[in-house]
Chain A
Amino acid sequence: MTTMTTLQPSESRPSPVSSEPAEVLLRVEGIKKRFGDTHVLKGISLTARRGDVITLIGSSGSGKSTFLRCLNLLEQPDGGELEIHGQPVHFTTTRHGRVPQDEKRVQWMRSRVAMVFQNFNLWSHMTLLENIIEAPIHVQGYSRAEAINEARCLLAKVGLEERADHYPSQLSGGQQQRGAIARALAMNPDVMLFDEPTSALDPELVGDVLAVMRRLAEEGRTMVLVTHEMDFARDVSTRIMYLNQGEVEEEGPPQQVLDTPRSNRLRQFLSTR
C-alpha cells in the first residue's frame, strides 16, 4: 500500500491578505432547478476565485449533488447564469426546456471544470493510464507521448505510479478514487468538483484520498466539494456553504459557520455529525 508520506512538501497557498482579490474562475448566479414539481434548487449563487476551496454541506436531499452537477452542466439549470473564466454560457428555451445554445461551448466549459464522483466512474475497459490520457488526447488534442508523460507525473503525485497498467477492477476503492482524481487533473482544469469523494470507501481507505485532496488545496487548486468529513472541511475550506432545501441558509469562513452557527437548523445539523 502506497502512502502519502512520499509526497513532496507543497508550495504555500496564495496569501489571503494579498492586496488584490484573486481572479474569478467560476461564477454562478441564482441557479434554479426543479424535477417535476419539486423545486430542488431555489436560486443558488457561488463565486470561486483562484485558490478557493468551497465546501457544500447539508442534509440528504438538500440539493448539494444537483447544484454541483449544474456547475458543469451535467444537469441543465432551469434558471440562473453561469460563467467560467468570464465566459458566459448562453441558454435558449426549446420544446425540451432550457438548454445551452452552443454544445461545443458546453464541451469546452466541461473540460475546464472537472468532476470527481462518489463512485469513481473510471472507464472499466481501459487501464488506469489509458483512463488518464483519454481526455487530454481526444478532447484537448495532446499527442500520445505528451499525455503519457503528464499522466505518469500525475500517477506519481497520487501515489499510483506502479498501478498504471492495472484495470480499475484490479484496484481498491481508494486507489480508484485517487486514479479518478488524476484523470480529472490531467485536463488541468480551472476548477475541480468533488461529490462526496470518500463516501463509497472503506474507512481505512479514506485517509489516502483526503491526503491527496488536501495537497491539491495546499497547491492552490480551486475546488468545490461536497463532503461529510467535517474535520477535513474545516481544515481545507476557504468557505463553507450550508444548503437547506435548495437554498443557502448560511455561508462564510469555516470557523464562523462551524463554530458559531447562527441558524438553529445548522446548529442541529452540526450536532448530529
Chain B
Amino acid sequence: MLNLHGYGMRLIEGALVTVELAALSLIIAVLLGLVTASAKLSKRRLPHLLATLYTTLIRGVPDLVLMMLFFFGGQVLMNDVSDWLYARFGLDLFINIDAFIAGVLTIGLIFGAYMGETFRGAIQAVDKGQVEAATACGMSRALIFRRIRFPLMMRHALPGLSNNWLVLLKTTALVSVIGLSDMVRVATQASKTTLEPFTFMLFVAVIYLLLTSLSEWVIKRLTRKYNAGFTRGRS
C-alpha cells in the first residue's frame, strides 16, 4: 500500500481542484467553441476574422506559454491598472488575479479554439432539410437549436469533443506552474519534502487514469444516446 506520509487529505483536495478546474474549463470551452464555430460560419467579415485570429493564435502557441502569458501578463496589466487608479484618483486597491479563475479562463480559452473547429464541422454536417422541416412547423430558432440542431450536431461533434475533453483534463496539470494547489502541485511539494517522488507521482497518475476511465464510460453512454436512429438496419 502507498505510504502518503500524511499528505493523503491534501492530495484528495488537490484532486477536487483538478476536477472543478476541468469541469468549469469545459463549460467555458464549449460555449466559446459554439460562438467561434458560428462566427466562422457567419457570412459577415468581422466575426469571421476575429474567430480566425483567435484559433490561429491559440493553435500556434504552446499551452504552457499561453498559460504563463495570460496569468503573469494579466497580473502585470492589473498592477498597471491599480497603479494608474492610485495615481489618478488616489484609489488604493490591489487587484490580485486569482489562480483558480485564471486557470479556468486560460484552459477554457485554449480549448475553446479546438472546440470551435470540432463544432464547425459538426454544424456543417447537420442536414439542412431537417432544420427546414422544423422551421416549416413554426418552431422558433431557439427551439430548433435545442430540439433539432443540437442533438443532430452532437452526433458529429461527440468524437472530437471527447478527445478534447481527455486532453483538457490532462492539461490541468499545467496550472501548477501558476501556483494553483491542484493535485500535481501538492504531489510535487510532497515529493520534495519526503524525497519519494515515485510514490506521489504514481498516486497522481492513478487518479488521472480513474478520471479518464470514468470519462470514457460517460462518453460511451452519450454516444449511444446521440447515435440513436443513426445505426442503419431494417427491422
A residues near B (Cβ < 8 Å) are 72, 74, 103, 107-112, 114-115, 117, 119, 121-127, 134-135, 138-139, 166-170, 180, 183, 187
Q: How far is the CB of A130 from chain B (nearest CB, A)?
A: 9
Contact A110 B129 (CB under 8 A): no
B140 touches A123 (CB 8 A): no
Asked if A117 contacts B129 (CB within 8 A), the reply is yes
Tell me, yes or no, whether B193 is within 8 Å of chain A by CB.
no
User: Known contacts A107-B139, A134-B147, A170-B235; is A123 also within 8 Å of B134 by CB?
Assistant: yes
Interface, chain B (partner A; CB < 8 A) = 127, 129-130, 132-140, 143, 147-148, 151-152, 155, 226, 228-235
Contacts of B140 in A (CB 8 A): 103, 107
A125 adjacent to B229 (CB under 8 Å): yes
List, sorted by A's number, 28 A–B pairs whose CB atoms are closer than 8 Å: A107-B138, A107-B140, A110-B137, A111-B138, A123-B133, A123-B152, A124-B152, A124-B229, A124-B230, A125-B155, A125-B228, A125-B229, A134-B137, A134-B147, A139-B137, A139-B143, A166-B235, A167-B228, A167-B229, A167-B230, A169-B229, A169-B230, A169-B233, A170-B232, A180-B133, A183-B137, A187-B137, A187-B138
Considering the chains assembled together, what is the distance between the CA atoms of A117 and B139 in angstroms? 17
Q: Is the CB of B133 within 8 A of A168?
A: no
Residues of B within 8 A of A121 (CB): 127, 129-130, 132-133
Q: How far is the CB of B62 from chain A (nearest CB, A)?
A: 38
Chain A residue at minimum C-beta to C-beta distance from B144: A138
CB-CB nearest in chain B for A124: B229
Residue of chain B at shortest CB distance from A169: B232
With A112-B138, A121-B129 known, 4 other A-B pairs at CB within 8 A are A110-B135, A123-B152, A167-B230, A170-B235
Chain B nearest CB from A246 CB (Å) reads 22
Report the bound CA distance from A170 to B231 in whole Å.
Answer: 9
Total number of residue pairs linking A and B with CB closer than 8 Å: 81
Residues of B within 8 A of A170 (CB): 232-235
Of all chain A residues, the one with the shortest Cβ separation from B234 is A170
In the bound complex, how far is the Cα of B136 from the Cα of A243, in angstroms? 23
Q: Which of B130, B133, B234 contacts A115 (CB 8 A)?
A: B133
Inter-subunit contact B135/A74 (CB<8 Å): yes
Nearest CB of chain B from residue A187's CB, rounded to whole Å? 7
Give the 5 A-B CB pairs with smallest separation, nearest first. A111-B138, A167-B229, A121-B133, A110-B138, A135-B137
Residue of chain B at shortest CB distance from A136? B137
Q: Is B133 touching A125 in the complex (CB atoms < 8 A)? A: no
Report B-chain residues with C-beta under 8 Å of the C-beta of A168: 229
Once bound together, how far apart are the Cα atoms of A73 and B165, in whole Å? Answer: 41
Q: Which of B133, B152, B235 has the most CB of A within 10 A?
A: B133
Q: Which residues of chain A come closer than 8 Å to B130, judged between CB atoms? A: 121-124
Whole-angstrom distance between the alpha carbons of A74 and B233 in the complex?
33
Distance (whole angstroms) from the CB of B131 to the closest CB of chain A: 9
B137 and A111 within 8 A (CB)? yes
**How far, in angstroms, from A121 to B128 measured CA to CA in the complex?**
9
Q: A127-B229, A170-B235 are in contact. Are A138 and B139 (CB under 8 A)?
A: yes
Chain A residues whose CB sits within 8 angstroms of the CB of B231 once the complex forms? 169
Nearest chain A residue, comparing its CB with the CB of B141: A103
Are B148 and A109 interface neighbours, CB within 8 A?
no
* B55 → A minimal CB distance (Å): 27
A107–B151 alpha-carbon span in the complex (Å): 22
From B132, B226, B234, give the contact of A125 (CB < 8 A): B226
- Asked if B133 and A117 sit within 8 Å, CB to CB, the answer is yes
Residues on B with beta carbons closer than 8 Å to the beta carbon of A111: 137-138
Residues of chain A contacted by B235 (CB below 8 angstroms): 166, 170
Q: How far is the CA of A103 from the CA of B152 in the complex (A)?
A: 24
Determine if A125 and B230 form an interchain contact, defined as CB atoms under 8 angstroms apart: yes
Q: When chains A and B are docked, how far (Å) is the Cα of A110 from the Cα of B143?
A: 15
Q: Are B136 and A72 in contact (CB under 8 A)?
A: yes
